[in-house]
Amino acid sequence: MYKKTNKFVENKRLKLSNSQLKWETIFRRILIAMSILLVVIILGVLATLIVESMPSIKSLGIGFLWGKVWDPVSNIYGAYPFLVGTLLTSFIALIISVPFSYAIAIYLGEYNPKGWLSDLLKNAIELIAAVPSIIYGFWGLFVLVPIIRTFEMKIGVAPYGIGVLTSSLILAVMIIPYAASLGITLIRMVPSPLKEAAYGLGATRFEVIRSVIMPYTRSGLFAGVLLSLGRALGETMAVTMLIGNTSAVADSIKNAIFGPGNTMASVIANEFTEADHTEYLSALIELGLVLFFVTVIINLIGKRIITRFTND
Amino acid sequence: MELNIGLRNTKSAIFKGIIVFFAFLITVPLIVVLGYIIKQGIFQVNWHFLTSVPAPVGETGGGIINALVGSFIMVMVAAVVAIPVGMAAGIYLSENPRSKLAYYSGLCVDILQGVPSIVVGIVVYFWIVKPLGTFSALSGSAALAIMMLPIVIRSTEQTLKMLPDSLKEAALSLGVPYHRVILKVIVPCGFAGILSGIMLSIARVIGETAPLLFTAFGNPYLSYSLTKPMESLPHLIFTYATSPYDDWHNLAWGASFILLMFVLVLNIFTKVLTRKWKVQL
Amino acid sequence: MESTIVKAENYNSYFGDNHVVKDVNISINKNEVIAVMGPSGCGKTTFLRGINRMHELIPNATSKGKILLDGENVYDMNAIYVRSKIGMVFQRPNPFPNLSIYENVVAGYLLNGIKISKADKDVIVEKSLTSAALWKEVKDSLHKKGTFLSGGQQQRLCIARAIAMQPELILFDEPTSALDPISTSSVEALFHELKANYTLIIVTHNMQQAARVSDRTAFFYMGELVEFDDTKQMFTNPADQRTQNYITGRFS
């Protein structure tokens, strides 16, 4: 039955394959075009930020970065208050979050990698990352701020409630999942012969973790902390709602931590739509440019470390 | 190594105790936040809340239909753009891992993943809002699409990389052209992974506020127009949460509850689907 | 009646600068079973993949020379068309995990978007599975996924999938190396039956298999076609010292 129709089928097939060859080429070109589009987007982002912040770069120069005064009304722009605010909130958050991230990584990576309890905890951590930052901000504004205010009254500092510390606390919670989930994966990658060798020598679990697992995963865990830091630096909404948005430099360390402040991201969020003249707007965009560079570099370093770690 | 075994074992046990304590302590803020949002929000939600626009100050009642519709429209438009683009780029990256272009676009995905969302907002402002002369839903969608891209790309790439080459060879040897091999064999086999990436990217951008501040802006009225400002759930929460009125706060709590439910459902849905659709290799 | 179906003329393959198949000339007749053997890395698989233009899908892979299929150089033809005309079975059974057994058999039509009627499909599925000696085992579970079958069954499913495209020539790339002995013998038994309608080229590193299943055997060594002769002749009285060494196990 086939043999009869064979010639006909053959011709049809040949014709079809000719048109398909054309589609194949088109398809490959689409894939390439979309990959190029990505590069174009990134270059476009960079170009836009640079071009739009040019007026500010030209008139303020590099001194912009350590100018201590940000006063749009008098047309004075210095980024120093926001650099300090960003670094301060991020590092406090990081310090708070690291013990948690490491504990989760060690617990789910080594002590309890399987089972319902570990699944539950893992889902909880994913959920922490999934909750939108606006919700953390809103909650912080109505629940955390009063608590902090009471606390500040007790220890005798100005009871703002909102401020750098409050933002850092919320930030800490928000960034824990990033370092934690990477840490879990890395600790699970520690080859069991290494661990068994140590157990064989009579080491306790703690000693194995301290002298085998930790040294083995150190660079990877550090990369996880960098990724967390990248998140913290660029986080906008929760911080904007909680930091108090003051562009003045604090007069003491105590006020810098407990008092209100501003980060690069939060000042952009607050003032971008209000910026009514070129220089003001372009100074804000220059902040965005700085933020872009800092977060990109931190992220890329983190990713590089991870790639090197997982390829070894 | 110390020889006192008892002491060493005690040390080990104490360490474990500390680890367990810190590991589980993290659930406290999660439960507190979720519990509070649910407590504050759940009683705000009713038919009226879901179907009417926000009431002006001083009037009670009002709802969030403008934000629901806005979020839906903007996320859908963003998804329609980002999913094909992201999948195409992801396929390219998994198929040509050693090419120069793959290196550079892979680098760009890494960069894009780290770009703060507020920066995306700024850039889209200059790309779309300024030329059009108005805040618009279209620009909001563009910003969200850019945020979605890296997630879709990476999940596509990683899923496809896990599929064995033999699958592709089998199809190619039958005389199936490359595009059909990818679309009819490779992508369906990795469907679960790709879909979960898509869902996660949607869950992520539906709560994004920062990129919408200077793009979609916000709109107290119901709007379906892509070229006009549009409200979104997170932006509505931001506006009303930071207002001084209790009525508006309540509206924001209700909206937070809805947003949280969306995110929760999307995440759970992703997990279930991933398990169900997983192709046995 | 002996007519040539495949003929290689000064055929060369490369991976980048690495010359893996060197100046091969060979002529294969219709309805023959050809075994291609040689130590690993001798270029036998690369040669096989050159016949249906699968070789060029690997990045950096190139080739020179001619492969004539029914007198026409495949490198002047549409690659997609060439591949649809020549069947191929791989080392590891690779049924499509997203398709049922039924769909796997007609995958060549399905995936290509060639529209055929349900009745035709039914005929093709039954005929192909029967030819692959699998019909009896799977006729009641045609709509189960192909990946639920055993290794040997999966490999026969892959053979059925190749047969369904009505090729004249089927290439086998070490088709039993991933199978257990029982599955191996079921596949080998199949070769004898397929011979009636198809030409088979079987790459194998298993000499006994070559001796058991083939009419003629080609011996590759270091990318060269050293010897091509009647299987019996080659195993009893090889012309080349290198073949002699290989057969007697002096290198493998």
**In the predicted structure, residue B210 carries a pLDDT above the cut 70:** yes
Tell me how long chain C is: 252
The neighbouring-strand residues paired with C233 are none
Q: Are residues B16 and B130 in the same domain?
A: no
Tokens at B260, concatenated: 């949280």
Chain A residues near any Cβ of chain C (below 8 Å): 1-2, 6, 9, 12-14, 16-18, 20-21, 24
CATH number for the domain spanning B154: value is 1.10.3720.10
- A-facing residues of B in 239-278 (CB < 8 A) are 241-242, 249, 252-253, 256, 259-260, 263-264, 267
Distance CA A290, CA C120 (A): 66
Q: How many CA atoms lie within 13 A of B14 on its CB side?
A: 6
C53 CA: distance to closest CA in chain A (Å): 14
How confident is the model over B68-94, as pLDDT tens digits?
999 999 999 999 999 999 999 999 999
pLDDT of residue C251: 65
Cα dist. B196→A72, B88, B107, B167 in Å?
46, 16, 23, 22
pLDDT of residue A3: 45
List for chain A the helix, strand, coil content (%; round to 5): 85, 0, 15
How confident is the model over B20-74, as pLDDT tens digits?
999 999 999 999 999 999 999 999 999 999 999 998 877 878 899 999 999 999 9
Q: Are residues B59 and B25 in the same domain?
A: no
pLDDT of residue A4: 41
Average pLDDT score over residue span A187-214: 92
Distance CA A264, CA A242 (A): 14
CB contact at 8 A, A286 and A108: no
Prediction pTM value: 0.91
Question: ipTM score here?
Answer: 0.93
Q: Are residues B52 and B21 in the same domain?
A: no
C41 — pLDDT class (breaks 50, 70, 90) = confident
pLDDT of residue A311: 77
C82 CA: distance to closest CA in chain A (Å): 9
CB contact at 8 A, B120 and B143: yes
Q: Are residues B135 and B167 in the same domain?
A: yes
Q: Are residues B18 and B52 in the same domain?
A: no
pLDDT of residue C147: 83
Average pLDDT score over residue span B238-251: 92
Domain residues for the domain of B28 are: 5-41
- How many domains is chain B partitioned into structurally? 2
Cross-chain residue pair B170–C90, CB shorter than 8 Å: yes
* All residues at 6 or more sequence positions from A24 whose CB lies less than 8 Å from its CB, including other chains: B177, B178, B179, C80
Strands C61-69 and C4-15: antiparallel
pLDDT of residue C60: 87
How confident is the model over A243-287, as pLDDT tens digits?
999 988 888 888 889 999 999 999 999 999 999 889 999 999 999
A1 — pLDDT class (breaks 50, 70, 90) = very low
Cross-chain residue pair A143–B32, CB shorter than 8 Å: yes
How confident is the model over B113-126, as pLDDT tens digits?
999 999 999 999 99
Give me the residue spans of the domains in chain A.
2-61, 63-311
C1 — pLDDT class (breaks 50, 70, 90) = very low
pLDDT of residue A255: 86
Element (H, E) at B186: none
B272 — pLDDT class (breaks 50, 70, 90) = confident
What single string gives the DSSP state of each residue in C174-226?
STTTTS-HHHHHHHHHHHHHHTTT-EEEEEES-HHHHHHH-SEEEEEETTEEE
Cross-chain residue pair C81–A14, CB shorter than 8 Å: yes
CB contact at 8 A, A187 and A218: no
- CB atoms near residue B159 (< 10 Å): 22
Cross-chain residue pair A13–C114, CB shorter than 8 Å: yes
What single string gives the DSSP state of each residue in C199-211?
EEEEEES-HHHHH
Helical packing angle, A214-234 and A264-271, nearest 10°: 20
Nearest CA in chain B to C165: B174
How confident is the model over A115-156, as pLDDT tens digits?
899 999 999 999 999 999 999 999 999 999 999 999 999 998
Counting Cβ atoms within 10 Å, is residue B279 exposed (0-12), middle (13-18) or buried (19+)?
middle
A112 — pLDDT class (breaks 50, 70, 90) = very high
Tokens at A111, concatenated: 């002590």
Cross-chain residue pair B19–A235, CB shorter than 8 Å: no
**In the predicted structure, residue C94 carries a pLDDT above the cut 80:** yes
How confident is the model over B142-198, as pLDDT tens digits?
999 999 999 999 999 999 999 998 899 999 999 899 999 999 999 999 988 999 999
Tokens at C230, concatenated: 């009647």
CB contact at 8 A, B130 and B60: no
pLDDT of residue A252: 86
CATH number of A63-311: 1.10.3720.10
pLDDT of residue A12: 73
For chain C, percent of residues with pLDDT exceeding 90:
60
Residues of B in contact with C145 (CB under 8 A): 280
pLDDT of residue B280: 60
Q: Are residues B37 and B165 in the same domain?
A: no
Cα dist. A153→A39, A139, A147, A156, A168 in Å?
52, 21, 10, 5, 19
**In the predicted structure, residue A5 carries a pLDDT above the cut 60:** no
**In the predicted structure, residue B276 carries a pLDDT above the cut 80:** no
CB contact at 8 A, A180 and A225: no
For chain A, percent of residues with pLDDT exceeding 90:
79
Cross-chain residue pair A131–B101, CB shorter than 8 Å: no
Helical packing angle, C118-131 and C151-163, nearest 10°: 130
